[in-house]
A and B are shown apart, each in its own frame.
Chain A
Amino acid sequence: MSADKPLDSILHQPVRTRLVAFLAGRGEATFKELKELLQVTDGNLDAHLRKLSAVNYISSRKQQVNNRFQTFYSLTEKGRDNLKSYVASLQSLLLSGKDNG
């Protein structure tokens, strides 16, 4: 992979990177779990989730629990593939940096 290939702008943001990586390992998580893990405000997390949903990196499902709806977020196949590509891009960036340096 070429080091010149631009990094995925959606994933190349610390909060979103951690969010997507956590979902890749965990499988599924609620809004509350993500908020506690990432230590962000409701508005901030919501904005990141919207961005990831808009490009179809994550999907959500709603389930009724004790007369209220709970939303579960998980990574889509596209999101998983793009995370892999993003990791490969970061690794090649590191390697090219070492080669040049």
Chain B
Amino acid sequence: MSERNISPDNQLESIQSMLSYGHKSIHLEKHTLILWGVGIGFLTAFTHDVSSIFYEQGHTLGRIFQISFVAIVLLAITWFDYRKTRAIRAVRDETISLVQRKVTFSIWMIFAFALLLDIYANIYLGGGRKMFGVYLVLGGIVLIMFGLYSERWYRWSGVVLILIGLVIMFMLQPSNTSRLLTASVFTAGGIGIAYLQPYAVTKVKCVWFSLLWVLGAVVLTTIVYQLDYYLDIKPDQEKVWQWSEYQQANPDGKHVVRISAGNQIPVELTVSGDVFEGKAEADLQLKVSKNIDIEFKNGKPTGIYRIDDGSWFESNDALFTRRFIRQTIVTDKQGPKLLREIEIGTQRRLGGLSGD
């Protein structure tokens, strides 16, 4: 074809389409989704148990081990995924596009951010379990980022992950249930999204296949919950002691003790701060409104409890500061006055903090 016969219009169109094709050629390998899904699922499910030995030696040691463990597993997944992806592409005689490299780099930054959140939650919020929903939302953002340059299925799956993450953040208390659910969503999601990807070509199929892997996650949660967690913590003893009876007998071994509704339990409150001299303490007597059964071992609570003959829980999941109201008012007689109201509950709910 001679130079004169080539139309500028066609040439510009050709350049436009090739540039666009070069930019959009992103492809997620199957192993990447499975590796990250199962890997993060594993971290969510087992980090707490693996770290517990170190937590027994001290909280600081436990936290250092937990954060190091998470960082090492994430780095190992990143390294293995990087090597495997390049090996697969080399065998297929394919390169990794510039855009994919940049998106992958952004995603590593997001995982680094998630690790920082975990560190923050461990130091300031008393544990990473409060961040499960946030990790799912971040996972969803990662999938949407990939989806923007490739297929609808990834965008769709990302939105589903974000929705589940929001439900866990706002509707569920940070408990073993939310831990297992998060772990199952990551695991079932990673495997499901990878294997269903070739079939999810239309919007309708995207909906059905999303429901399928979400269902898989729920089934996995239920199975693990029944097999491991619930049966594991349920006390063996049939007899429920009354508190006064237990106090008098003071028996050795594990026993379940009931604090019946109507009994008073003391709530010790200490207030101090850098603008106050010393601290003020108060012993408040509050009546319990429900029967609380607590497991004791040799006179000390083990942390296992239930309310009104319901399911058994661990004390980590027991009492939440559901609402904390802070106000500063000015009264005629006393001048400025600080008001603090704390609501404690066994179920978390929205609207945790208010005031001025």
Given A22-B18, A27-B97, A27-B101, the answer on whether A14 and B90 have CB atoms closer than 8 Å is no
Contacts of A72 in B (CB 8 A): 95
Contacts of B93 in A (CB 8 A): 30-33, 70
When each residue 48-72 of chain A gets 1 if its CB lies under 8 Å from chain B and 0 otherwise, what string results? 0000000000000001011000101
Contacts of B20 in A (CB 8 A): 25
Is B98 in the interface zone, CB < 8 Å from A?
yes
- 8 Å CB interface, A1-60 against B: 7, 9, 12-14, 17-18, 21-33, 37
Residue B97 contacts which of A26, A63, A65 (CB distance < 8 angstroms)? A26
**Which among A18, A22, A94 has the greatest number of chain B C-beta atoms within 10 A?**
A22
Give the docked Cα–Cα distance between A33 and B23 (Å): 14
Contacts of A22 in B (CB 8 A): 18-19, 21-22
Given A33-B93, A72-B95, A94-B12, the answer on whether A14 and B1 have CB atoms closer than 8 Å is yes
Contacts of B91 in A (CB 8 A): 65-66
B4 CB to closest chain A CB (Å) equals: 10
Contacts of B16 in A (CB 8 A): 21
Interface secondary structure of A, over-half rule: helix
Contacts of A83 in B (CB 8 A): 15
Contacts of A93 in B (CB 8 A): 8
- 8 Å CB interface, B2-38 against A: 3, 6, 8-12, 14-16, 18-23, 25
**Which among B10, B21, B96 has the greatest number of chain A C-beta atoms within 10 A?**
B21
The number of chain B residues with a CB under 8 A from chain A is 28
Given A21-B15, A21-B18, the answer on whether A26 and B8 have CB atoms closer than 8 Å is no
Is B94 in the interface zone, CB < 8 Å from A?
yes
Given A7-B3, A22-B22, the answer on whether A29 and B95 have CB atoms closer than 8 Å is yes
Give the docked Cα–Cα distance between A27 and B100 (Å): 10
Give the docked Cα–Cα distance between A22 and B20 (Å): 8
Given A13-B1, A14-B1, A65-B90, the answer on whether A26 and B25 have CB atoms closer than 8 Å is yes
- A25 pairs with B90, CB closer than 8 A: no
Give the docked Cα–Cα distance between A14 and B12 (Å): 10
Q: What would 20 more interface pairs be, CB under 8 Å, given A21-B18, A33-B95? A: A7-B3, A14-B11, A17-B18, A21-B15, A21-B19, A24-B19, A25-B20, A25-B21, A27-B22, A27-B98, A28-B96, A30-B94, A32-B94, A33-B94, A66-B90, A70-B93, A90-B11, A94-B8, A94-B9, A94-B12
21 A-B residue pairings within 8 Å (CB atoms): A14-B14, A21-B18, A22-B21, A23-B22, A24-B19, A25-B19, A25-B20, A25-B21, A25-B97, A26-B98, A27-B98, A27-B99, A28-B95, A28-B96, A28-B98, A30-B95, A66-B90, A66-B91, A70-B93, A83-B15, A94-B9
